Amino acid sequence: MDNYLSRLYKKYLQGHISLDEFRELRYHLNKMDDDALSQILEEEWMSGSAAGEIGQKSKTRISNTLNFYVRKTKKRNYRTAMLKVAAVLIPLVFLVYGGLWFMSKPTHQEKFAVSVDRGDKAFITLPDSSRVRINSNSSLEYANSAENVRQVNLQGEAFFKVAKDRKRPFRISIDNLVIEVLGTTFNVKAKKGSDMIEASLVEGSIKISGENLPRDYYLKPNEKAIYSKNSNTLKIVETDNELETAWVHNRLQFSSEKFSDALKDIGDWYGVTIISKYDQINEDMISGSFNEENLETALSALQLQYNIKYKRKNDTIFIYKK
């Protein structure tokens, strides 16, 4: 971590960071991939430059925010537990400013919930060591059930790397659909207000079942299941996982998506509401991608492509015919 980011990170841990500094720190950290982020934060913590100067009040604040993660094993001392928390889950605390919150205190069942506002994303490591990247405008609940099942309820979109544990299945419930895995990597999308639930498999295998489905379905890598809640039907198609997981790599990408749906995704991505007053193009199909562009650049690209104009009022953007 360079000296400037190191100073910002230390100021955050000590509780002295300003909102502008916090946003800058979060911006740079969100550009890193998961492995690099974990390694850098762990090295910073281990160096003692941050941990050594943190006051007890700050340690308690971090611990209380993240204590659902600390495992029950008696062999881990406080510093080891805090190291793991800081290295893996500090990005969650960064997102508290942006609307991330925890609904439940940890219990003997290790139950908790996370919600991510529009314009933000979160990376978490679950108590079973599974890793989850949560997209904007999404929420996730996790618990170990009495039947020794790792249970997740999801609304929105998330990318999972599930830790293998043959004795404890990992199940994701979305409405009346259940996705079950033992250990694998996949993406699930169940946006609020959408009829469709999509599951795309990167590696491993998953089983999909539902009370209204005639049978269980199994996915192979590079396949996607598309379930319609209205018709209670499921189909499996081949897919491009680079497209399905583009958001994980901070890239907003579309492939033959309706213009109106793309506007919703763009709004969630940048934390704004976009309203189209140009009905003639709402059903048009859009393809393309935005890679770290700011909102104004994204809107300018749409303006050139579709001959539209836009007007912004606070966090609401109106699209008009030019």
- Report the pLDDT value the prediction gives residue 5, as an integer from 0 to 100: 74
Q: Alpha-carbon distance 278 to 235, whole Å?
A: 33
- Report the pLDDT value the prediction gives residue 61, as an integer from 0 to 100: 43
- When pLDDT is cut at 50, 70 and 90, the band that residue 321 belongs to is confident
More confident residue, 209 or 101: 209
Cβ–Cβ under 8 Å, residues 256 and 285: yes
Q: What is the pLDDT of residues 2-16, one digit of tens each?
A: 677 777 777 766 666
**Residues forming a β-bridge with 179:** 172, 208
Cβ–Cβ under 8 Å, residues 126 and 84: no
- When pLDDT is cut at 50, 70 and 90, the band that residue 282 belongs to is confident
Residues 6+ apart with CB under 8 A from 13: 50, 51, 54, 58, 62, 86
Residue type, 60: T
User: Is a pLDDT exceeding 50 seen at residue 65?
Assistant: no
Q: Per-residue pLDDT averaged across 298-305, rounded?
A: 83
Q: Which helix (H) or strand (E) holds 88?
A: helix 78-94
Q: Per-residue pLDDT averaged across 86-111, rounded?
A: 39
- Report the pLDDT value the prediction gives residue 30, as an integer from 0 to 100: 63
- According to DSSP, the β-strands at 273-276 and 316-321 are parallel
Q: What is the pLDDT of residues 184-211, one digit of tens each?
A: 999 999 988 888 999 999 999 999 999 8
Q: How many CA atoms lie within 13 A of 299 on its CB side?
A: 20
Q: Which residues of 49-82 are buried (b: 16+ CB within 10 A; e: fewer)?
A: bbbeebeeeeeeebbebbbbbbeeeeeeeeeebb
Residue type, 197: I
Cβ–Cβ under 8 Å, residues 268 and 136: yes
Q: What is the pLDDT of residues 137-172, one digit of tens each?
A: 999 988 876 678 889 999 999 999 999 888 888 999
Tell me which residue of 122, 282, 261 sits closest to 196, measured CA to CA.
Answer: 261
- Report the pLDDT value the prediction gives residue 84, as an integer from 0 to 100: 34
Q: Alpha-carbon distance 234 to 209, whole Å?
A: 10
If phi > 0 it is left, if psi is from -120 to 50 it is alpha, else beta; for residue 230 that is: alpha
pTM of the predicted structure, to 2 decimals: 0.63
Q: Alpha-carbon distance 118 to 273, whole Å?
A: 9
Q: How many CA atoms lie within 13 A of 55 on its CB side?
A: 7
User: Is a pLDDT exceeding 50 seen at residue 107?
Assistant: no
Q: What is the pLDDT of residues 209-252, one digit of tens each?
A: 998 899 999 999 999 999 999 999 999 999 998 889 999 888 88
